[in-house]
């Protein structure tokens, strides 16, 4: 039923008089009402202001791509599920340190070194307080090309701002992205990110196994060419990713997994994890030189349950989907789900092959929803570790059979066939064993990278 107010004939007399007066006023004018000019003037001024704003240096032939990234946890947890760490160098073993992480930082600068996989002309840096319980105060942030050790190339130093601010606070659980800065970043180069932390940070959000030396200095040394460190570690603090502006053809492969992907037992500061070696191979091949690799492994991680870091299903969005330019991912994870139930206190967390396969299917489906292809890697043998059980071996073999034959993955990387001992398929080959019977050494990681068919990632 139409309201009486909708009909001009039933409008109140005072309202009708006002309408007639407005009509007579408008009829006496040669053109639109004054209100039109006011609006037009405001609109014109807005256009002028917009035109005066600097245009982003981005064209249709470029996009943002992640050239380096890491997966984060709140606090370092000792590696479990393997043999006690030996301090010798037999079998070319180079133990990977995960300690020396301060419980808090205050009035200190951390300088972290990252290895790029792709190059570009502009850069931006993501910082994350994802696992912090309080706001994180950043007094200054810089990025520069690393020269050597804690030294940077002075001419390459750039101040990083976040929303125009050189100092800022990151709320608990938040991730922030810097404003773009002009900086020619080569591929396969070392870049240093320095953060000054003026206030007590509390327990840091970290990636414990950084495999590069991180330098810690007193006071604000973020813009200094050399840091003069008072301490060192191999962890990354609050650093989530580095993105570069690259040609539109550039894309990235996420290496998603546990300690084997993380590079545990490879030599520090040598970039010898299999994912880093794969990036080197891709860069050297003309047909794949625009593909980079980012390592999102977490030592001790599991597919289905938390222990070290959030489980793979729960961290998938943050560590894979949030990265820019992802075209493919590799999935090498599951051995910790199988073996950790042998650890006292975790006996109720045994998994079946069907459990792991269900988890894999979830990752595959979610990746496909976002246009990301998935290469599944077979789980490598671990006989010789204290947590090895024949029941777990049966699960591993069943899962591997499914990976090889189900056609659920877009591609299969058979690491198991590559690294297992020809005389005992339940064990690593001696020449690839770091000594703990779980983690491949430098030679094993090189063999893994060399075995991957690069043309897979062109499909």
CATH number where 312 lies: 3.40.50.1110
Which of 246, 262, 287 terminates a domain? The answer is 246
User: Are 269 and 215 contained in the same domain?
Assistant: no
In 359-402, the DSSP E strands lie at: 373-377
Q: Is residue 10 part of a domain?
A: no
Would you give the end-to-end CA distance of the chain in angstroms? 62
Which parts of the chain sit beneath pLDDT 70?
Answer: 1-59, 74-99
Q: Which of 205, 214, 150, 142 is nearest to 172 (CA)?
A: 205
Quickly count: other Cβ atoms within 10 Å of residue 152's Cβ.
Answer: 26
DSSP 3-state assignment of 380?
Answer: coil
Does residue 453 share a domain with residue 316? yes
Query: If residue 19 lies in a helix (H) or strand (E), which one and from where to where?
Result: helix 13-27
Q: Is residue 22 part of a domain?
A: no
Strand 140-148 and strand 190-197: pairing? antiparallel
Whether the CB-CB separation of 318 and 350 falls below 8 Å is answered with: no
Paired sense of beta strands 175-177 and 120-128, if any? antiparallel
- Asked if residue 317 and residue 217 are part of one domain, the reply reads no
Residue whose C-alpha is closest to residue 377's, from 323, 417, 322: 417
CB 239 within 8 A of CB 265: no
Least Cα distance to 399 among 355, 437, 350 occurs for: 355
Residue 91, in any domain of the structure: no
Instruction: Give the residue numbers spanning the domain of 338.
Output: 66-86+248-459
Same domain? 139 vs 79: no
Distances in Å between the Cα of 271 and the Cα atoms of 263, 289, 292 are 9, 18, 14
Asked if residue 51 belongs to a domain, the reply is no
Cα-only R_g, the chain:
28
Last residue of a domain, one of 204, 220, 246: 246
For residues 163 and 175, state if they share a domain: yes
DSSP 205: P
> For residue 190, what pLDDT is reported?
98
Q: Are residues 201 and 324 in the same domain?
A: no
pLDDT at 60: 73
Give the count of domains, the chain. Answer: 2
Give the per-residue pLDDT at 380: 98
pLDDT of residue 74: 60
For every residue of 117-178, DSSP letters joined together read SS-EEEEEEEEE-TT-SS-EEE-EEEEEEEEETTEE-GGG-EE--BTTBSSEEE-TT-EEEP
Same domain, 141 and 192: yes
Same domain? For 208 and 261 the reply is no
Measured distance CA(359)–CA(271) in Å, rounded: 30
Largest Cα–Cα distance of the chain, in whole Å? Answer: 103
CA–CA separation, 352 and 345 (whole Å):
18
Q: Report yes or no: 214 and 110 within 8 Å, Cβ to Cβ.
A: yes
The answer to whether residue 17 is domain-embedded is no
310 and 452 share a domain?
Answer: yes
Q: Is residue 340 part of a domain?
A: yes
Cβ neighbours of residue 323 closer than 8 Å, sequence gap 6 or more: 66, 69, 241, 252, 254, 294, 296
| 3-state helix vs strand vs coil in the chain, percent to 5 | 30, 25, 40
Q: pTM score, two decimals?
A: 0.84
* Neighbour count for residue 47 (Cβ, 10 Å): 10
Last residue of a domain, one of 185, 219, 246: 246
CA distance 366 to 372: 9
Q: What angle do CA 386, 315, 306 make, to 5 degrees?
A: 35
Residue 327 sits in the same domain as residue 452? yes
Asked if residue 19 belongs to a domain, the reply is no
CA–CA gap between residue 95 and residue 97 (Å, rounded): 6
How many residues are given for the chain?
459
Whether residue 315 sits in one domain with residue 262: yes
Q: Are residues 82 and 178 in the same domain?
A: no
In a domain? residue 116: yes
């Amino acid at each position: 039923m139409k309201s009486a107010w909708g009909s001009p004939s039933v409008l109140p007399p005072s309202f009708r008089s006002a309408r007639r007066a407005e009509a007579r006023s408008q009829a006496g004018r040669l053109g639109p009402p004054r209100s039109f000019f006011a609006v037009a003037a405001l609109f014109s001024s807005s256009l002028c202001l917009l035109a005066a704003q600097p245009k982003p240096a981005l064209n249709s032939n470029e996009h943002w791509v992640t050239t380096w990234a890491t997966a984060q946890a709140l606090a370092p947890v000792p590696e479990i599920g393997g043999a006690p760490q030996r301090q010798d160098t037999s079998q070319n073993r180079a133990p990977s340190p995960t300690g020396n992480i301060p419980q808090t930082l205050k009035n200190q600068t951390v300088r972290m070194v990252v290895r790029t996989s792709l190059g570009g002309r502009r850069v931006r840096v993501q910082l994350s307080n994802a696992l912090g319980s309080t706001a994180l105060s950043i007094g200054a942030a810089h990025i520069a090309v690393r020269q050597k050790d804690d030294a940077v190339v002075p001419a390459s130093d750039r101040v990083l701002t976040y929303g125009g601010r050189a100092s800022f606070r990151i709320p608990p659980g938040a991730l922030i992205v810097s404003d773009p800065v002009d900086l020619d970043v080569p591929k396969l180069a070392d870049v240093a990110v320095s953060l000054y932390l003026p206030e007590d940070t509390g327990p840091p959000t970290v990636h414990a196994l950084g495999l590069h030396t991180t330098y810690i200095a007193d006071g604000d040394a973020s813009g200094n060419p050399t840091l003069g460190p008072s301490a060192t570690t191999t962890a990354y603090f609050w650093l989530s990713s580095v993105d570069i502006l690259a040609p539109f053809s550039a894309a990235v492969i996420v290496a998603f997994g546990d300690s084997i992907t993380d590079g545990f037992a490879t030599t520090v500061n040598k970039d010898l994890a299999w994912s880093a070696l794969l990036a080197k191979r891709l860069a050297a091949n003309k047909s794949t030189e625009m593909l980079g690799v980012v390592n999102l492994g977490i030592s001790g991680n599991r597919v289905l349950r938390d222990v070290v870091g959030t489980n793979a299903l729960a961290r998938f969005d943050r560590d894979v989907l949030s990265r820019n330019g992802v075209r493919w991912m590799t999935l090498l994870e599951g051995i910790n789900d199988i073996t950790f139930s042998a650890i006292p206190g975790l006996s109720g967390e045994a998994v079946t092959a069907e459990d792991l396969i269900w988890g894999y299917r979830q990752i595959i489906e979610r990746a496909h929803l976002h246009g990301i292809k998935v290469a599944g890697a077979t789980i490598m043998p671990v006989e010789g570790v204290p947590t090895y059980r024949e029941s777990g071996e049966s699960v591993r073999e069943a899962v591997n059979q499914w990976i090889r034959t189900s056609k659920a993955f877009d591609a299969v990387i058979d690491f198991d066939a590559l690294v297992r001992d020809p005389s005992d398929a339940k064990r690593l080959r001696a020449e690839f064993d770091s000594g703990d019977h779980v983690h491949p050494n430098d030679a094993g990681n090189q063999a893994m990278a060399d075995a991957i068919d690069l043309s897979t990632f062109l499909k």
